[in-house]
Chains A and B, each alone.
Chain A
Amino acid sequence: MWDTFITATSIDEALGLLAQYRRDARIVNGGTDLLIEIERKVRSPKVVIDVSRVPGLDEIRFEDGTFHLGAGVTHNQVVGNKLLVDHAYPLARACWEVGAPQIRNRGTIAGNLITASPANDTITPLWAMGAWVTLQSKARGKRDVSLEEFMLGVRHTALEPDEMLTEISFPALKENECGTFIKLGLRRAQAISVVNAAVVLGFRPSPLAPRVSEIESAWITLGSVAPTIVAAEEAQRFLIGETLEDHTIDDAARFAMNAARPIDDIRGTAAYRREMVRVLVSRALRQLRDETERADFPA
């Protein structure tokens, strides 16, 4: 158990404490991951710095087409925010699929990123939407880091001991873009992903029905199939210039499968996970083509 529990009242105070205690300290907000890590003795911080009372940390800002989520924003805040549901659907969908209402009310997106498990659901869509995080320290001030640079490995990030993640930013989906997130768990709720996938597609503007024209941009990211989230680059490249025919979808899903480097664990075998990448990516692409990706999302 920790020796000291400090409730910080400002980011500056939290940064000061981090500079003082460094590796002995750990920030807590919702606590949905940290408390379990402490109980399982994965982490044994001597000082726990509670930032849940820091004013303004749970702010969601939308400026010039970019979303900025404060470090205190919870999963349910995202699900309940109409702008995010409309213009960042892959993230909203992922937040909706996390845990149960109690966990979604407490757990923060920032915490999900810092825990950095490849099975964490919000990393996949944020990665596909090109998100970056703002890290702040007393000594060096702010720096922005892309998720790709931030995620170094299983439960390993670029966060320095004296740094705090203060903001998550990502561009909103544009008029011609759409996306979704799909997860496979071993039951319908409160299940860690066996595999998850996020897809964001941009179509060439067309006077015809949406999503029938050629694809201009494609991002496909996969969770729980490698030490970090991975982008299915071959599949992304393949889709550019194509339209979403059945055979293109099948081929893209196969390319995505090749990007996965999964392991065996008690939730599934590597072979099963690879196969599921194909199934999930193909399902996501079909839903986007058929405009059904929001069909079972609560209005």
Chain B
Amino acid sequence: MPAAKSYVTPLDYEKMTPEEREWAVLTGRADLDRAMKEGTPRSTTPPASPPAQPSADYAVVGKPQKDLEGYRIVTGKSTFTVDVYLPDMLYVRVLRSPLPHAKITSIDTSKAAALPGVYGIITYKDIPAQVLAGLKPVMASEPALVGDPIAAVAAVDETVAEDALNLINVQYQQLPFIVDPIAGAKSGAPLALSNLQSNVSGPDFKVVRGDVNQGFASADVTVEHTVNTQDQQHVALEPHIAVARWDNDVLTMWTSSQYTHAIARIVAATLGMPYSKVRVISAFTGGGFGDKTAVYPYHLVAALLAKKTMRPVRYELTRLDVFYEGSHHFQVVQDIKLGFKKDGTLVALQADSTARLGAYSRGSGLAGDTLSGARLEYNIPNILLNGRGVITNTSSAGARRSVGEASGMFALETLMDVAAEKLGMDPVDLRLKNINETGDPESKLPWTSNGLRDCITNGASAFNWKSRWQGWANVNKGAGPLKTGVGFMALASNKGSKSPPMTAVVEINVDGSVRVVQGAAHIGGPQRTTFAIIAAETLGANLDQLSVSEPDTAFTTDTGIVAGSRATKSVGSAVKAAAEDARAQLLGYAAAKFSKDLSRTVNPQDLAVTNGQISLQTDSSVKPITFADAVNSGFIIVDGQQVPAAATIIGRAVVPPVTQYAQQTYAAAFYEVQVNVQTGVVRVTDAMQIHDVGKVINPLQLTNQVHGGSVQGTGFALTEDYIYDTATGIPVSSNLDDYKMLMINDVPKITALFVESNDAVGPFGAKGIGEPAFMAAAAAISNAIYYAAGIRLTSLPMNPKRVLEALKA
């Protein structure tokens, strides 16, 4: 048998939507694809370690800083999209399909149109076939999920719009539907949409490395299990909303978004308008978690109804609308198998992942993302990975804090725990033995940095793992109804990378104030504070000199999405480069001023900038000058000559993508749980996450990110569940009563620790954090439940009913 060549299913960029291309870049698929298409290893020698960035004492970076926008936000002074009310504005309500799959045979809106206060109605008949929101119909003629939009009404207020919906008469012809992805993948299953050939979307994602059969044949210990992780909604505090206004041929849209420039680009392309004539504003975004990354039907509903009625239109989705139309963290069914040598060395991995795509997501990319961590976290010579997406009559799959990786890590890291027991090893030692510290085996690119070993060892020591985890002989040893146990997981994530587009402008004004003009969303990171810190550090400015622009496509350039944990590393890189450009110009002005004042030639390289003061390093008797002094001097030095210059500085940057390294973020997590073996209720009693963040930019915000991620990750593990009734296709937990999110009294003490591995390409060596903080929970909790009560739970959420069933089994 010929040795299998390692390959990855190639991407067909021409067939991908812009959205899919962006996600391919964001999740590292594009890098991987490029590396594979270029063929074979770039070098046959092991990749060299990246040069470490200089570790330095910084003035602003690494010090705790409050959110610069915090006061405005908590006093209600910041303008979120829900705060946007315009004169003469109309309000929208949308009629949604009660059936999971049907064809509309007739629709009559005449009674609704006659209702006083109704100004405009649209149905699929008013929308050209090519006008889609991504792949979703703006108004469906063949609704493919419960909640697909059927008709939208703009009226003087929401009550009138709601009343008008009741007057719309729709006749449906019901069609067969499919909810379960495994059943949907079988031949002969009902098709989720009538134009499909098969519910399985596109070619499988596939990775082959070495020979997996030989790998398992050589293994001394083999473990495997099947894991089913659930559908979730993000439930961002601010609901999805768009306010649209036309001024002649210019469309202005306020929307709660993670990526205003993409909204502008896609809305413009969809409506056949120039990008420059669509202005999208998202001053503050009330949470996103990946759900506000795309164009949705509601954006186009607002734009089209505003055009039709010639009035500003506001569509704020109800929470039920968000559950229906918003994207979902998709259900995934994974079969995963690992082979080890007796000493714990990993020799083989086989994993198969089936992702439920919902009605309007496509391809195997989402399933592929669930397999990413398994491919890259550990050294495994032989692997076979398969992933597929299955189209179903459910809400569409999309990005949700880690996309597929949280599900993949749950499958892998719980199985690692099973293996550790079978091998008789401490689970910490088993991870340490197998870490892939070199680079991406497929692309052969070295890591920018890898701090996983330190995450694990520092965490084990801080958590006191050696005394709290007392060996495999002590599983389920507690007495009484409340049993306590500890669990551990490690993780690798392809998120948090430096990826294009990365652009920024840094202005130094005549009064010495500094403005960072950038287009990234402020969604609670809080991103603008991070950018201010990076710019202040680079310039030598005081933080209070800084202000950072709000995303508005009319005034800022596209700097990419705030998702994929990329804001700090990617946008931060652009801000840093623009600040470096501005600093060089500032030193030119300052040199001219010193030259003039001292009547001798002072060169820019003789100057230092600290705390907003520019000083002459070669002569401490000379009084330092301020930014304002320098900019106001009106001269710069060019070729040794003083030349008059404008009294403002504009530093700019367009940062190229990273091609020489593969990028990953890493974390370890230690959790303690208390399992009530009478009721099946699990409480997390202690949580510790240790993240390789490259470099801490702001410890206060970073800790907040970990707290939020841990709480959300614990909800994923224990309570949150978006359930469909398989008999009717109706979601039954589409409200915040039945869709259980954790509340503050469910939250334990959370400890956040950081490892600084000095990333080779991040600003000041920083990486991302948003998504790893969410991923670092579920597997550790499941492993802790096993240690406490002796039950392995492989379906999420691990709710009381499932815990008790497992205890009785």
Q: Which of A252-299 contact B (CB under 8 A)?
A: 266-269, 272, 275-276, 279
Q: Cβ of B679 and Cβ of A279 under 8 Å apart?
A: yes
Q: Cβ of B679 and Cβ of A1 under 8 Å apart?
A: no
Q: Which residue of B is nearest A192, CB measured?
A: B737
Given known pairs A189-B745, A192-B737, the reply for A269 and B801 (CB within 8 Å) is yes
Given known pairs A266-B738, A267-B738, A272-B680, the reply for A188 and B801 (CB within 8 Å) is no
Q: Which of A171-197 contact B (CB under 8 A)?
A: 184, 186-192, 194
Given known pairs A266-B723, A266-B733, A272-B680, the reply for A1 and B745 (CB within 8 Å) is no
Q: Which of B721-739 contact A (CB under 8 A)?
A: 721, 723, 732-733, 737-738
Q: Cβ of A187 and Cβ of B738 under 8 Å apart?
A: no
Q: Cβ of B801 and Cβ of A191 under 8 Å apart?
A: no
* Complex interface bits, B488-499 against A, C-beta within 8 A gives 1, otherwise 0: 000000000000
Q: Cβ of B743 and Cβ of A276 under 8 Å apart?
A: no
Q: Cβ of B680 and Cβ of A1 under 8 Å apart?
A: no
B678 at the interface (CB under 8 A from A): yes
Q: Which residue of A is nearest B677, CB measured?
A: A279
Q: How far is the CA of A275 from the CA of B808 in the complex (A)?
A: 11
Q: How far is the CA of A29 from the CA of B220 in the complex (A)?
A: 69
Given known pairs A187-B742, A187-B746, the reply for A268 and B723 (CB within 8 Å) is no
CB distance from A51 to the nearest CB of B (A): 23
B377 at the interface (CB under 8 A from A): no
Q: Cβ of B678 and Cβ of A272 under 8 Å apart?
A: no
Q: How far is the CA of A189 from the CA of B747 in the complex (A)?
A: 12
B743 CB contacts on chain A under 8 angstroms? 187-190
A187 CB contacts on chain B under 8 angstroms? 719, 740, 742-743, 746
CB distance from A225 to the nearest CB of B (A): 15
Q: Which residue of A is nearest B681, CB measured?
A: A184
**Count of chain A residues with Cβ under 8 Å from any Cβ of B?**
18
Q: Which residue of B is nearest A190, CB measured?
A: B743
CB distance from B555 to the nearest CB of A (A): 40
Q: How far is the CA of A136 from the CA of B66 in the complex (A)?
A: 59
* Complex interface bits, A110-142 against B, C-beta within 8 A gives 1, otherwise 0: 000000000000000000000000000000000
Q: Cβ of A268 and Cβ of B745 under 8 Å apart?
A: no
CB distance from A267 to the nearest CB of B (A): 7
A184 CB contacts on chain B under 8 angstroms? 679, 681, 800
Q: Cβ of B732 and Cβ of A266 under 8 Å apart?
A: yes
**Which of A1, A190, A192 sits near B162, CB closer than 8 Å?**
A1
* Complex interface bits, B157-169 against A, C-beta within 8 A gives 1, otherwise 0: 0010011000000
B804 at the interface (CB under 8 A from A): yes
Q: Which of B690-721 contact A (CB under 8 A)?
A: 719, 721
B804 CB contacts on chain A under 8 angstroms? 272, 275
Interface centre among B679, B738, B743 (most CB of A within 10 A): B679
Q: Cβ of A272 and Cβ of B800 under 8 Å apart?
A: yes
A-B contacts, CB under 8 A, total:
43
CB distance from A281 to the nearest CB of B (A): 12
B613 at the interface (CB under 8 A from A): no
Q: Cβ of B745 and Cβ of A188 under 8 Å apart?
A: yes
Q: Cβ of B737 and Cβ of A1 under 8 Å apart?
A: no
Q: Cβ of A186 and Cβ of B800 under 8 Å apart?
A: yes
B345 at the interface (CB under 8 A from A): no
CB distance from B190 to the nearest CB of A (A): 24
Q: Cβ of B801 and Cβ of A272 under 8 Å apart?
A: yes
Q: How far is the CA of A186 from the CA of B719 in the complex (A)?
A: 7
Q: How far is the CA of A187 from the CA of B681 in the complex (A)?
A: 9
A275 CB contacts on chain B under 8 angstroms? 804
B556 at the interface (CB under 8 A from A): no
Q: How far is the CA of A191 from the CA of B678 in the complex (A)?
A: 19
A1 CB contacts on chain B under 8 angstroms? 159, 162-163
Interface centre among A184, A188, A192 (most CB of B within 10 A): A188
Q: Cβ of A186 and Cβ of B799 under 8 Å apart?
A: yes
CB distance from B591 to the nearest CB of A (A): 62
Q: Which residue of A is nearest B163, CB measured?
A: A1
Q: Cβ of A276 and Cβ of B799 under 8 Å apart?
A: no
Q: How far is the CA of A194 from the CA of B799 in the complex (A)?
A: 12
Q: Cβ of A276 and Cβ of B738 under 8 Å apart?
A: no
CB distance from A161 to the nearest CB of B (A): 24
Q: Which residue of A is nearest B733, CB measured?
A: A266
Q: How far is the CA of A266 from the CA of B681 in the complex (A)?
A: 16
B681 CB contacts on chain A under 8 angstroms? 184
Q: Which of B743-763 contact A (CB under 8 A)?
A: 743, 745-746
Q: Which residue of A is nearest B803, CB measured?
A: A272
Q: Which residue of A is nearest B742, CB measured?
A: A187
A188 CB contacts on chain B under 8 angstroms? 743, 745-746
* Complex interface bits, B794-809 against A, C-beta within 8 A gives 1, otherwise 0: 0000011100110000
Q: How far is the CA of A188 from the CA of B679 in the complex (A)?
A: 14
CB distance from A236 to the nearest CB of B (A): 22
CB distance from A249 to the nearest CB of B (A): 13
Given known pairs A1-B162, A1-B163, A276-B679, the reply for A191 and B800 (CB within 8 Å) is no
B745 CB contacts on chain A under 8 angstroms? 188-189
B721 CB contacts on chain A under 8 angstroms? 266
A268 CB contacts on chain B under 8 angstroms? 800-801
Q: Which residue of B is nearest A276, CB measured?
A: B679
CB distance from B155 to the nearest CB of A (A): 12
Q: Which residue of B is nearest A185, CB measured?
A: B740
Q: How far is the CA of A279 from the CA of B805 in the complex (A)?
A: 15
B738 CB contacts on chain A under 8 angstroms? 266-267
CB distance from A279 to the nearest CB of B (A): 4
CB distance from A276 to the nearest CB of B (A): 6
**Which of B159, B162, B740, B805 sits near A186, CB closer than 8 Å?**
B740
Q: How far is the CA of A156 from the CA of B737 in the complex (A)?
A: 22
B805 CB contacts on chain A under 8 angstroms? 272
Q: Which residue of A is nearest B743, CB measured?
A: A189
Q: How far is the CA of A1 from the CA of B167 in the complex (A)?
A: 13
CB distance from A263 to the nearest CB of B (A): 14
B159 CB contacts on chain A under 8 angstroms? 1
Q: How far is the CA of A151 from the CA of B745 in the complex (A)?
A: 33
CB distance from B732 to the nearest CB of A (A): 5
Interface centre among A184, A187, A190 (most CB of B within 10 A): A187
Q: How far is the CA of A1 from the CA of B738 in the complex (A)?
A: 24
Interface centre among B159, B678, B745, B801 (most CB of A within 10 A): B801
Given known pairs A266-B723, A266-B738, the reply for A279 and B163 (CB within 8 Å) is no
Q: How far is the CA of A190 from the CA of B721 in the complex (A)?
A: 16
Q: How far is the CA of A267 from the CA of B799 in the complex (A)?
A: 9
B719 CB contacts on chain A under 8 angstroms? 186-187
Q: How far is the CA of A1 from the CA of B804 in the complex (A)?
A: 44
Q: Which residue of A is nearest B747, CB measured?
A: A188
Q: How far is the CA of A272 from the CA of B799 in the complex (A)?
A: 11
A192 CB contacts on chain B under 8 angstroms? 737
Q: How far is the CA of A267 from the CA of B797 in the complex (A)?
A: 12
CB distance from B676 to the nearest CB of A (A): 9
* Complex interface bits, B645-689 against A, C-beta within 8 A gives 1, otherwise 0: 000000000000000000000000000000000111100000000
Q: How far is the CA of A191 from the CA of B736 in the complex (A)?
A: 10
Interface centre among A1, A191, A272, A275 (most CB of B within 10 A): A272
Q: How far is the CA of A266 from the CA of B680 in the complex (A)?
A: 16
Q: Which residue of A is nearest B802, CB measured?
A: A272
B723 CB contacts on chain A under 8 angstroms? 266
Q: How far is the CA of A176 from the CA of B679 in the complex (A)?
A: 31
Q: How far is the CA of A279 from the CA of B808 in the complex (A)?
A: 15
B732 CB contacts on chain A under 8 angstroms? 266
B162 CB contacts on chain A under 8 angstroms? 1
A266 CB contacts on chain B under 8 angstroms? 721, 723, 732-733, 738
Q: Which residue of B is nearest A272, CB measured?
A: B801
Show 16 residue pairs from A and B whose CB-CB distance is below 8 angstroms, ordered by the A residue: A1-B162, A1-B163, A184-B681, A184-B800, A186-B719, A188-B746, A190-B743, A191-B740, A192-B737, A266-B721, A266-B732, A266-B733, A268-B801, A269-B801, A272-B801, A275-B804
Knowing that A186-B799, A268-B800, A272-B805 are A-B contacts, what are 8 other residue pairs whose CB atoms are under 8 Å apart, sorted by A's residue number? A188-B745, A189-B745, A190-B737, A194-B800, A266-B733, A267-B738, A272-B804, A279-B679
The 3 A-B pairs with the shortest beta carbon distances in the complex, nearest first, are A279-B678, A188-B745, A272-B801
